């Protein structure tokens, strides 16, 4: 008999717990109180049965009643407290059921993404990443790269000079010299970075842009090696359907020099606005490193040979993400940048 009463008390408490947890207003809490310890409540009704149990069991049962009352009071208080603080929040205009505010962490700029992607592709081909300064000496940017004194790119109308004679590098090619001067051959590096030229900004020009330079020096290197590397790069970056072609060109630091075109990513080579109906996009300058450059850094051109190349990163990014105007990359408009 005593056990049955204790069990009934426990069940009553468990039920009350469930009802209180579901309560959304103080009325509901009050209803639980009335049902359990009101005048006609469950606990008073149960305690009336105390008379029918043997005196030696009354102690235990009485104790059960007392603890139940205490616990119930705590549960009622806690439920009211919960409802009150929600009501306070409500009065203050705070909706506790709303999800938290998302912290906007941002992501990499499309130019940085393309640099990372290029570096990763060349890394898989055995190239290490090298870096050089953006404020450069004339020696590294022009002289050591075999650039004649009267070459138009040296003109202050094309290049930003500091009053001390240094300049903002116009290309990543000076990193070639820095790496060769500080390392014995063989050399296999790519050097991504920021470059600067006095260009008038338009859809394809920016005074501030990025290149990724490549340099490969070893024994018996040929133009076929260069072609294989660029072929592989094109496949990794834009897929196997992209075709590549070379055209003869001139750069002071390579001989022979070539320009690389990729078949137009936009139209697949059929001809469109982006490729100016030619089906091809100019994508990189390259060539076999001029023996004069090797001599300038103390490499013996009779033993060592190699190739170099330079890509415009923005151009790759514009092809990769189908961006029509280079200036959009530099306006810091989050609505634009968030798309990539
Ligand atoms: N530095 C050249 C430019 O800015 C690009 C270039 C051409 C880099 C040929 C090279 C190269 O390494 O071999 O136009």
Tell me which residues have their CB closer than 6 angstroms to ligand 1. 171, 173, 213, 251, 254, 285-287, 308-310
User: Phi then psi for 171, rounded to 5 degrees?
Assistant: -160, 165
CB 144 within 8 A of CB 297: yes
Both tokens assigned to 157: 């109308």
Distance CA 120, CA 134 (A): 22
Of 180, 258, 193, residue with least CA distance to 222: 258
**Three-state secondary structure call for residue 279:** coil
In order, the DSSP letters of 305-339 are: EEEEEEEEHHHHHHHHHT-S-GGGGGS--HHHHTT
- Which pair of tokens denotes residue 60? 């235990």
Kindly report the protein residue whose alpha carbon is nearest to atom 4 of ligand 1. Answer: 171
Find the 240 Cα to ligand 1 centroid distance in Å. 25
* Lookup: tokens for 56: 């030696």
**Is 0.75 topped by the overall pTM?**
no
304 alpha carbon – ligand 1 mean position (Å): 20
Choose one of 132, 145, 171 to mutate for the ligand 1 pocket test, by most ligand atoms within 8 angstroms of C-beta: 171
Instruction: Give the distance (Å) from ligand 1 centre to CA of residue 321.
Output: 24
Centre of ligand 1 to C-alpha 212, Å, is 9
Residue 53 dihedral angles phi and psi, to the nearest 5°: -105, 150
Q: DSSP assignment, residue 275? A: T
**What separation in Å is there between the alpha carbon of 318 and the centre of ligand 1?**
19
- Position in ligand 1 atom list of the atom nearest CA 215: 12
How do residues 163-183 score in pLDDT, each as one tens digit? 999 999 999 999 999 999 999
Of 162, 109, 144, 275, which Cα lies nearest the Cα of 215? 144
CB proximity list for 64: less than 8 A, separation 6 or greater = 5, 6, 9
> Distance from the CA of 273 to the center of ligand 1, in angstroms?
26
Q: Could you tell which of 132, 309, 316 is best to mutate to test the pocket of ligand 1, judged by most ligand atoms within 8 Å of the CB? A: 309
Q: Hey, which bits of 59-165 come out as E strands?
A: 128-129, 135-136
pLDDT at 259: 97
Retrieve residue 294's tokens: 């090797």
CA of 226 to the centre of ligand 1 (A): 13
Place of tokens 């470059």: 195
pLDDT at 1: 63
Predicted confidence at residue 242, as pLDDT, reads 94
Report the chain (340 residues): mean pLDDT per 10 consecutive residues: 81 88 88 88 84 83 87 89 83 84 90 98 98 98 97 96 97 98 98 97 92 98 97 96 95 97 90 88 96 98 98 94 92 93
The ligand 1 atom at the shortest distance from the C-alpha of residue 176 is 12
Which amino acid residue places its CA nearest to atom 10 of ligand 1?
Answer: 309
Distances (CA, A) of 1 to 7, 56, 207: 10, 12, 94
Beta bridge partners of 209: 195
Residue 32 CB-density burial (10 A; 0-12 exposed, 13-18 middle, 19+ buried)? buried
C-alpha of residue 118 to centroid of ligand 1, in Å = 16
Structure confidence at residue 175 (pLDDT): 98
pLDDT score recorded for residue 61? 85
Q: Specify the 3-state DSSP secondary structure of 298.
A: coil
Ligand 1 probe mutation, 145, 173, 230, most atoms within 8 A of CB: 173
Burial class from Cβ neighbours inside 10 Å (0-12, 13-18, 19+) for residue 275 reads buried
Percent of the chain scoring above 70 in pLDDT: 99
If you take atom 3 of ligand 1, which residue's CA is the nearest one?
171
Q: Which residue is listed with tokens 């060349």? A: 122
- Testing ligand 1's pocket by substitution, the residue of 249, 310, 315 carrying the most ligand atoms inside 8 A of its CB is 310
How far is the C-alpha of 70 from the C-alpha of 279, rounded, in Å?
85
Give the pLDDT confidence score for residue 225 in this predicted structure: 97
As a whole number of Å, the end-to-end CA separation of the chain is 74
Taking Cα atoms as reference points, which of 241, 217, 222, 221 lies closest to residue 231?
Answer: 241
Nearest CA to ligand 1 atom 12: 309
252 Cα to the center of ligand 1, angstroms: 9
Ligand 1: centre distance to CA 204 (Å): 18
């Amino acid at each position: 008999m005593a056990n049955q009463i204790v069990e009934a008390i426990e069940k009553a408490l468990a039920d009350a717990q469930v009802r209180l947890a579901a309560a959304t207003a103080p009325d509901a809490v009050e209803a639980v109180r009335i049902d359990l310890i009101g005048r006609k409540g469950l606990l008073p009704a149960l305690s009336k049965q105390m008379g029918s149990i043997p005196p030696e069991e009354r102690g235990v049962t009485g104790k059960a009643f007392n603890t139940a009352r205490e616990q119930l009071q705590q549960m009622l208080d806690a439920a009211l407290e919960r409802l009150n603080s929600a009501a306070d929040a409500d009065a203050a205009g705070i909706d506790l059921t709303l999800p938290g505010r998302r912290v906007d962490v941002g992501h990499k700029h499309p130019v940085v993404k393309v640099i990372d992607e290029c570096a990763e592709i060349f890394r898989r081909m055995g190239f290490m990443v090298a870096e050089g300064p953006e404020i450069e000496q004339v020696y590294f940017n022009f002289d050591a790269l075999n650039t004649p004194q009267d070459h138009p790119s040296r003109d202050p109308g094309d290049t930003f000079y500091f009053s001390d004679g240094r300049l903002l590098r116009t290309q990543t090619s000076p990193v070639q010299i820095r790496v060769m001067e500080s390392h014995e051959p063989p050399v296999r590096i790519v050097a991504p970075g920021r470059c600067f030229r006095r260009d008038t900004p338009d859809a394809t020009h920016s005074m501030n842009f990025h290149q990724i330079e490549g340099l490969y020096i070893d024994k018996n290197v040929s133009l076929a090696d260069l072609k294989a590397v660029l072929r592989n790069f094109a496949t990794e970056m834009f897929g196997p359907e992209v075709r590549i072609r070379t055209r003869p060109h001139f750069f002071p630091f390579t001989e022979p020099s070539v320009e690389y075109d990729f078949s137009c990513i936009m139209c697949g080579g059929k001809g469109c606005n982006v490729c100016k109906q030619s089906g091809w996009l100019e994508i990189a300058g390259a060539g076999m490193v001029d023996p004069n450059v090797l001599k300038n850094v103390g490499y013996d051109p009779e033993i060592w040979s190699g190739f170099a190349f330079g890509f415009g990163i923005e151009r790759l990014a514009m092809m990769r993400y189908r961006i029509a105007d280079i200036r959009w990359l530099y306006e810091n408009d989050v609505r634009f940048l968030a798309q990539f």
